[in-house]
Amino acid sequence: MGIIDMSTSQPLLHIDGLQKYFEESSNVLDIFSRKESTKIQAVDKISLTVEKNDSVAIIGESGCGKSTLLLTLIGLHEITGGDVLYRGRPLSKFDRNDWKEYRSKVQVIFQDPFNSLDPKMTVEESLKEPLEIHNIGDQRQKVRSILKDVELRPPEKYLKRKPANLSGGEKQRVSIGRALILEPDIILADEPVSMLDVSTQASVLKMLKRLVGEYDASMIYISHDLSTVSYIAEKVYVMYLGRFVESASTNQVLENPKHPYTKALVDAIPVPDPHYNRPRTVMSGAPRDPIDLGEGCRFRDRCPEVIAPDSIDIDQDAYREVMAFRERLERDELFVDRIRKSIEPDAEGQSLADAIRDEYFTMPLSGNNAATVDAALNEIAAGESEAAERRLRERFESVCEITPEYIEDKPGWHVACHRYYNIDSQHE
């Protein structure tokens, strides 16, 4: 007696400001120093709507939270904030019957062919399992039929085999078959082909696309690979550190990406042509840890287009260094004591300031920029961190330190970046 009304005309799946945070359990020392337990903001206010027969892709690097998102959607993680609505009914209010219903209608395919099938079960047993769980009859017939659908023919050849006797591609086909055998509404696919040879990916992807169409299902396809997305999804959502930064149709994203991260992603895709001189990425470093992220655009520490204040004139890379330094200062992560010890035990004043500069700055600064930084370094060396913070913030504060809104820049095209909407409206 659940609450899901199957006849409603609500969207199939509506993810509404979903949040999934993890708390890193504090250890004994932290309790004593009264440090607040660190929050890992794996999924932070994600919104997405899937209608019948939609195929959308969520693209992001590893660590961006897409896998956590997936696990939350299938109920393996508890929702921290926001909600997910299946046919209008919120997951947070599901009872046992709702979950049973949902779990027969929403199926998942994982990326690792080696561990997605129970090594102790035959193909037939693995495929039968969903049917057994939901008490669906005609099992022998359905198993054979699905094996044919996933192009493992003749089915008899595969029924009694165990995963160890299947190739990677064959294993993934079985996993896909298992996801389809319950004729679900929605398929959640987590990089289903990324561990296969690229030359095999095409055939498995084509098959997946065809079957999703034939079975009249919708698909959310999660991956880090933009180059194969056009074969599988009409719309792309780009995810970075727990948030969507851009979403648009696949063609729009590939041809004309707006968000600097999307641009970097698209620009880094290898082009199979030795004559084409694709410049290497200008990006450096890696995404920060999704711990205690605070306010502001999460890409700003790596963004090639981070917005410096209009009033100053500064090189992009140098500006990013200043920003990184300011952040460390504000989080009290400059380790001044360690630096002091590494030169001489009672270093102070100019020599300490210079040592701190050497540690954190590699790009040259000039004019008032240099002067401000020097003054701040001296203040830090003298122990006046707050004054230094104020000084630096006054000159170098960026609009990117305010969380950009995820805004519909054009119909069907969302971007979360200060470069894309009226900057005036941001200044208080």
Partner 1 sequence: MNNYDSLLEVKDLTIRYQTDRGDITAVSDASFQINEGEFFGLAGESGSGKSTTAKGIIGGLDQNGFIHDGSVRFRGKEIQDFTEAQLNDELRWKEISWIPQSSMNSLDPLQKVSEQAVEIGQVHTDFSEKELRQKIKEMFDVVGLSQSRVDDYPHQFSGGMQQRAVIALALFLEPSLVIADEPTTALDVIMQDQIFKYLDRVKEENSTSLLLITHDISVIFESCESVAIMHASQIAEKGSTKAIHDNPRHPYTFLFKEAFPDIREPDRDLEVIDGYPPELIGEVSACSFVDRCPWAVDECHEDAPALEHVGDADAGHAASCFRSDEAYELYKDRELAVQTPPPHGDH
Partner 2 sequence: MSNLVPYDTFERIQMITDHHIFRNFAGGLRIMLNDRNTATYFWILVVVALLGLIGPAIAPYDIEETHYSPEGDILSAEPPSLAHPVGTTFAGYDVLSRLLVGARPTVITGILGGFLILTIGTSIGITAGYVGGRTETILMRFTDFAYGVPLIPFGIVLITFIGVGFISSVLVIGLILWRGGARVIRAQTLQVKQYPFVQVARATGASRTRIIVKHILPNVAPMAIFFLALGVGYAIMLQASLTFLGVASPFVPSWGVMIRNAFNSGYISEAWWWSLTPGLLIGVTVLSTFMFGRGYESLVTADGGTGEIDTVAA
Residues at the site binding partner 1, with contacts judged by CB under 8 A:
61-63, 167, 197-200, 202-203, 205-206, 224-228, 230-231, 250-251, 254, 264-266, 268-276, 278, 280-281, 283-286
User: Shortest approach of partner 2 to residue 374 CB, angstroms?
Assistant: 50
**What is the C-alpha separation between 351 and 427, in angstroms, rounded?**
39
Q: What is the largest CA-CA distance in the chain?
A: 82
Contact residue for partner 2 among 139, 228, 249, 316 (CB under 8 A): 139
Binding of partner 2 at residue 134 (CB under 8 A)?
yes
Torsion of CA 206, 207, 210, 211, to 10 degrees: -150
C-beta closer to partner 2: residue 75 or 88: 75
Q: Residue 353 CA to chain centroid, in angstroms?
A: 39
Beta-sheet pairing, 218-223 with 55-59? parallel
Closest separation between CB of residue 109 and partner 2, Å?
Answer: 8
CB of 250 to partner 2, least distance (A): 24
Give whichever of 227 and 249 is closer to partner 2, judged by the CB atom.
Answer: 227
The residue from 90, 168, 296, 304 that contacts partner 2 (CB under 8 A) is: 168
From residue 192 to residue 211, the character string flagging contacts with partner 2 as x (rule: CB under 8 A) and all else as - is ---xxxxxx--xx-------
Please pick, from the candidates 52, 120, 341, 410, the single residue that binds partner 2 as defined by CB under 8 A: 120
Shortest spacing between CB 189 and partner 2, in angstroms: 12
E strands, 224-334, are: 235-240, 243-249
Binding residues for partner 2, rule CB under 8 A, total: 53
Whole-angstrom distance, CA of residue 26 vs CA of residue 36: 8
Q: How far is the CB of 108 from partner 2 (least distance, A)?
A: 5
Q: Which stretch binds partner 2 (CB under 8 A): 37-45, 122-130, 323-331, 360-368?
A: 122-130
Judged by DSSP in three states, 364 sits in coil
44 in contact with partner 2 (CB under 8 A):
no
Rounded Cα distance between 267 and 414, Å, is: 20
Q: Which of 7, 9, 25, 141 binds partner 2 (CB under 8 A)?
A: 141
- The CB density around residue 267, as the number of other CB atoms within 10 Å, is 14
Instruction: Establish if 27 lies at the interface with partner 2 (CB under 8 A).
Output: no
Quick check: 270 binds partner 2 (CB under 8 A)?
Answer: no
* Contact call for residue 228 and partner 2 (CB under 8 A): no
Within 305-334, which residues bind partner 2 (CB under 8 A)? none
Q: What are the b/e assignments for 309-339, b being 16+ CB within 10 Å?
A: eeeeebeeebbbbbbbbbbebbeeebebeeb
| Adjacency order of strands within the sheet including 81-86 | 39-50, 13-23, 81-86, 89-90
- State the angle between helix axes of 349-360 and 316-330 in degrees (0 to 180), rounded to the nearest 10: 120
Q: How far is the CB of 199 from partner 1 (least distance, A)?
A: 4
Binding partner of residue 266 among partner 1, partner 2, none, CB cut-off 5 to 8 Å per kind = partner 1
Residues 399, 418: contact at Cβ < 8 Å?
A: yes
Exposed, middle or buried: residue 394 (CB in 10 Å: 0-12, 13-18, 19+)? Answer: exposed
Q: Could you tell me which residues are beta bridge partners of residue 74?
A: none
Residue 119 binds what, of partner 2, partner 1, none (CB under 5 to 8 Å, by partner type)? partner 2
User: Cα–Cα distance between 341 and 129 in angstroms, integer?
Assistant: 63
Is residue 391 at the binding interface for partner 2, with CB under 8 A as the rule?
A: no
Residues of this chain that interact with partner 2 (CB under 8 A) are 71, 74-76, 99-100, 103-104, 106-108, 110-122, 125-126, 129-130, 133-134, 137-141, 162-164, 167-170, 175, 178, 182, 195-200, 203-204
